[in-house]
Amino acid sequence: MLNLALDGDQQDVVEMTRDLGAAVLSPAAAATERGGAVDPAAWQALCGSGLTVLLSEDLGGDGIPSTVTQMTALEQLAHGDPQATIAAAWSGSAALFVSEHGSAMQRAALRDAAVTGPSHRGAVALYESAGSHEIATTVETDGARVRVRGRKVAVPFAERADTMIVLGRDPSNHELRAVVVPPGQEGMTVRPRAGSLGLDATEQAVVDFDLELPVEHLLAHEGLGLTVARHRLILAAVQTGMAQRALEYAGDYASQRIAFGKPIASFQGISFLIAEAFARTEQARLEILDAASLVDDGAPEDQVTAAVDAAVSYASENAAETTRNAVQVLGGHGFMTEYPVENWYRIAAFLSTVDFDPLASAFQPAF
């Protein structure tokens, strides 16, 4: 039976995360951007919410929320600050991989690692030059050893992650594999961080792997595809929360700014831009909800992957275009760093490069 209503708990989560976004994350966003590192108070609040570091109860966490709940929460948090939110969610996602797929020993190590503490950082090394598609990194098991070879991009907290999960494929059967790589592991080379168009507080970098570890570092691979799908949806949810914020911001501005004797919101050249942004953002939200519910239902992996591919592509395209519209609506002011829209414009475009698939959309000129 079709049901699009959030349950009572989910509604509470929405309220809590929206408040946290407005009261804590949004006011700290400028400091996070300026400093190139997530504001400590914002980080603490995010980790304390139980919605970024996903840890099962036996590991001292709050339990693992459903994918639907998680994505709904991340969208609200990103409405406050997309940068701090994705930094914390990407970091916390490493704990989910261990919670879901770790051996007793790996889980015990995680429990002892104080993952919700202020200085703990996690990383999931998934993306490559071709996004999450055509993963070329190999994870080969040979008796008691596992060998990891490949190159990952946009690895968050690459230089200092305490828990690093590396995704690759087993060349013998092309199946997904995940390995826990200890900090400072020999054979792991972090390229110097040059900085990017945006999102520098995620401290992301390119990492080369050519290393061998005892096979105990391998995570169990049953259901790994679903966890990867869930991880990829983080990006889509953050893009969508940011798009919502940007279009609201542009809408407020357009209601105040006067040109040709009227608020510019009264011109269809502006109101249609905002309407389309809102419409696309709502559709992106539903697409994420659909994909998230498939993950929660444990739907067949092919079906989940197709749904996530589509949701990620649409959410990123929407965020890039919606934040552009927001800059546009603010005119010259939108181009100035005193206003937050130019930062959202950079973040959305940066994120749109991370999990991109040329097969999912085609270039379109202005008209």
* Interface ranges with ligand FAD (CB under 6 A): 257, 259-260, 264, 267, 269-270, 328-329, 331-333, 335
Instruction: Choose the one of ligand FAD, other proteins, none that binds residue 308, judging by a C-beta under 5 to 8 angstroms depending on kind.
Output: none
Q: Binding to other proteins by residue 327, rule CB under 8 A?
A: yes
- Decide which of other proteins, ligand FAD, none touches 258; Cβ closer than 5 to 8 Å per partner kind: other proteins
Work out whether 195 is an interface residue with other proteins (CB under 8 A): yes
Q: Is 105 in the site for other proteins (CB under 8 A)?
A: no
Q: Which helix (H) or strand (E) holds 248?
A: helix 224-256
Give the interface segment with other proteins, choosing from 93-101, 230-238, 295-303, 336-344 (CB under 8 A). 336-344
Q: How far is CA 126 from the centre of its chain?
A: 12
Rounded to whole angstroms, the Cα distance separating 229 from 192 reads: 29
Smallest Cα–Cα separation from 287: which of 344, 243, 342? Answer: 243
Is residue 247 a contact residue for other proteins (CB under 8 A)?
no
Residues in 25-84 that interact with other proteins by CB under 8 A? none
H/E run at residue 166: strand 163-169
CA dist., res. 107 & res. 98, Å (int): 6
* 358 lies in the binding site for other proteins (CB under 8 A): yes
Amino acid at 127: Y
| 231-239, 243-251, 301-309, 332-340 -> range binding other proteins (CB under 8 A) | 332-340
Q: Which of 17, 91, 93, 352 binds other proteins (CB under 8 A)?
A: 352
Q: Token pair 């339990």 is at which residue?
A: 63
Shortest spacing between CB 90 and other proteins, in angstroms: 13
Task: State which amino acid sits at residue 156.
Answer: P
* Cβ atoms 119, 278 nearer than 8 A: no
Nearer to other proteins, 120 or 152 (CB): 152
- Residues near 353 by Cβ (< 8 Å), separated by ≥ 6? none
Q: Which of 43, 157, 253, 356 binds other proteins (CB under 8 A)?
A: 356
Residue 167 or 327 with smaller CB distance to ligand FAD: 327
Burial 164-177 (b: 16+ CB within 10 A, else e): bbbbbbbeeeeebb
Which one of ligand FAD, other proteins, none interacts with residue 195, CB within 5 to 8 A by kind?
other proteins
**In the complex, minimum distance from the CB of residue 273 to ligand FAD, in angstroms, rounded to a whole number:** 8
Distance CA 356, CA 133 (A): 8
Pairing of strands 145-155, 163-169: unpaired
Question: How many whole angstroms from its chain centre is CA 234?
Answer: 4
DSSP string, 111-124: HTTTTTSTT--EEE
Q: Which stretch binds other proteins (CB under 8 A): 56-64, 111-119, 195-203, 296-304?
A: 195-203
In whole angstroms, what is the distance from residue 224 CA to residue 228 CA? 6
> Rule CB under 8 A: which of 257-286 touch other proteins?
258-260, 267, 269-270
Q: Contact positions toward other proteins, by CB under 8 A? A: 127-131, 133-134, 136, 153-154, 194-198, 204, 206, 258-260, 267, 269-270, 320, 324, 327-328, 331-332, 334-338, 342, 345-346, 349-350, 352-354, 356-359, 362-367
